[in-house]
Amino acid sequence: MEKKDKIYVAGHRGMVGSAIVRKLQAEGFENLLLRTSAELDLRSQEAVDTFFKEHKPDYVFVAAAKVGGIVANNTYRADFLYENLMIQNNVIHSAYKHSVTKLLFLGSSCIYPKFAEQPIKEDYLLTGILEPTNEPYAIAKIAGLKMCDAYRAQYGCNFISAMPTNLYGPNDNYDLQNSHVLPALLRKMIVAKRTQQPAVEIWGSGTPRREFLHVDDLADACFFLMQDYDGTDWLNIGVGDDVSIKELAELIKEIVGYEGELQFNTSKPDGTPRKLLDVSKLESRGWKAKIGLREGIERVYEEVKSLPF
């Protein structure tokens, strides 16, 4: 990418998109095309095609998606499948039609089978059943990845895909009905400390293991891939190690300074037992995560501890 190139970041107000924008601006890229969902409905084929026809972006980061945690994914199954398919279909197809130089599609580690061997290699895609609670979202992301593959194979498009692990950081979602586990726990502990609650309820047994990547590290990886990777394989993006939900809760409790009990509600779903990505392909190309989990959560806590939850 050259500094003068037009770069479209789809989903620039979300956690991932805003991190990519911060990274691009820090690197001196100012010719950014940014549209809110009110200004450009990515579910509309006509609107997306008109946007690409008028503005002719050179590079595209596809960070727009309908996202949420277990409750949201399991409740709004049709919405998660339909809206994500429409967003990525429209953006990828318009990028092809209007000769975008390069596109990066961001998926999710939930594309892999529920009981995949750990750590999860890229090759494990479509080798087993998906986690039922977020299957619609996963199917949409698999379709996006395969769409990039197909457009590259049929039309020679330089469309690449990356699959991030669980993310956290600035502009995360703290709505307890729709958030992921780390921001949900952070909010619960902050509120419990403020109101001197004797205990915090945590869904599930605490035994599932998860990998967490700070979104600024993800943005750094996306910038790296857009500059330096033109291969045919999709690549996992992660830190290469994981923690149990119980360990995560205890770390957040320590950082927040909450002194009550942690109560694990085993009547609630655990989700996938473990989800650790094999990041050796990306690391072999020269990129590695820099922000440790404690440091990352401490940063986030400083940003959100005064929010009126």
- Residue 16 counted as an annotated binding residue: yes
- Residue 167 counted as an annotated binding residue: yes
The kind and range of the H/E element at 290 are none
Is the distance from CB of 258 to CB of 198 less than 8 angstroms? no
Range of the domain at 12: 7-168+212-239+275-290
End-to-end CA distance of the chain: 40
**271 pLDDT more than 80:** no
- Residue 165 counted as an annotated binding residue: yes
**74 pLDDT more than 90:** no
Question: What residues have CB less than 8 Å from 81, skipping those under 6 apart?
Answer: 136, 137, 139, 140
Q: Is residue 306 part of a domain?
A: no
Q: Is residue 191 part of a domain?
A: no
Query: How far is residue 285's CA from residue 211's CA, in Å, rounded to a whole number?
Result: 21
HSE-CB for 129 with a 13 A CA cutoff: 4
Domain of 218, CATH number, reads 3.40.50.720
What is the structure's pLDDT at 178? 74
User: Catalytic: which of 96, 137, 151, 168?
Assistant: 137
Q: Is residue 159 part of a domain?
A: yes
What is the structure's pLDDT at 212? 98
- Residue 17 counted as an annotated binding residue: yes
Query: How far is residue 239's CA from residue 245's CA, in Å, rounded to a whole number?
Result: 16
Is the distance from CB of 118 to CB of 274 less than 8 angstroms? yes
Provide the token pair at 34. Answer: 């940014």
Q: Is residue 135 part of a domain?
A: yes
> What does the pLDDT look like over 238-249, one tens digit per residue?
999 999 999 999
- Residue 113 counted as an annotated binding residue: no
Q: Is residue 78 part of a domain?
A: yes
Q: Kind of pairing, strands 243-244 and 209-210? A: antiparallel
- Residue 22 counted as an annotated binding residue: no
Query: How far is residue 102's CA from residue 272's CA, in Å, rounded to a whole number?
Result: 33
CB neighbour burial string for 124-148, b if at least 16 within 10 angstroms, e if fewer:
bbeeeebbebbbbbbbbbbbbbebb
> What does the pLDDT look like over 127-176, one tens digit per residue?
999 989 889 999 999 999 999 999 999 999 999 999 999 999 999 999 88
Q: Per-residue confidence at 292, pLDDT binned at 50, 70, 90? A: very high
Q: Is residue 158 part of a domain?
A: yes
- Residue 161 counted as an annotated binding residue: no
HSE-CB for 124 with a 13 A CA cutoff: 22
- Residue 108 counted as an annotated binding residue: yes
Query: How far is residue 267's CA from residue 11's CA, in Å, rounded to a whole number?
Result: 35
What does 160-227 look like in DSSP terms, one character per residue? EEEEE-EEESTT----TTT--HHHHHHHHHHHHHHHT-SEEEEES-S--EE-EEEHHHHHHHHHHHHH
* Helix spans in 56-134 (H): 70-75, 77-97
What is the structure's pLDDT at 55? 98
Question: What residues have CB less than 8 Å from 146, skipping those under 6 apart?
Answer: none
Provide the token pair at 140. Answer: 């949409």
Q: Is residue 131 part of a domain?
A: yes
- Residue 15 counted as an annotated binding residue: yes
Active site residue 76: no
Q: Kind of pairing, strands 199-203 and 235-237? A: unpaired
Q: Is residue 221 part of a domain?
A: yes
CA 42 to chain centre: 18
**pLDDT, average across residues 209-224:** 98
> What does the pLDDT look like over 225-236, one tens digit per residue?
999 999 999 999
pTM over 0.85: yes
Q: Per-residue confidence at 273, pLDDT binned at 50, 70, 90? A: confident
Is the distance from CB of 266 to CB of 205 less than 8 angstroms? yes
% of the chain exceeding 70 in pLDDT: 100
The kind and range of the H/E element at 154 are helix 135-155
Query: How far is residue 260's CA from residue 256's CA, in Å, rounded to a whole number?
Result: 11
- The tally of domains found in the chain comes to 1
Q: Which of 120-124, 180-184, 204-208 has the lowest mean pLDDT?
A: 180-184
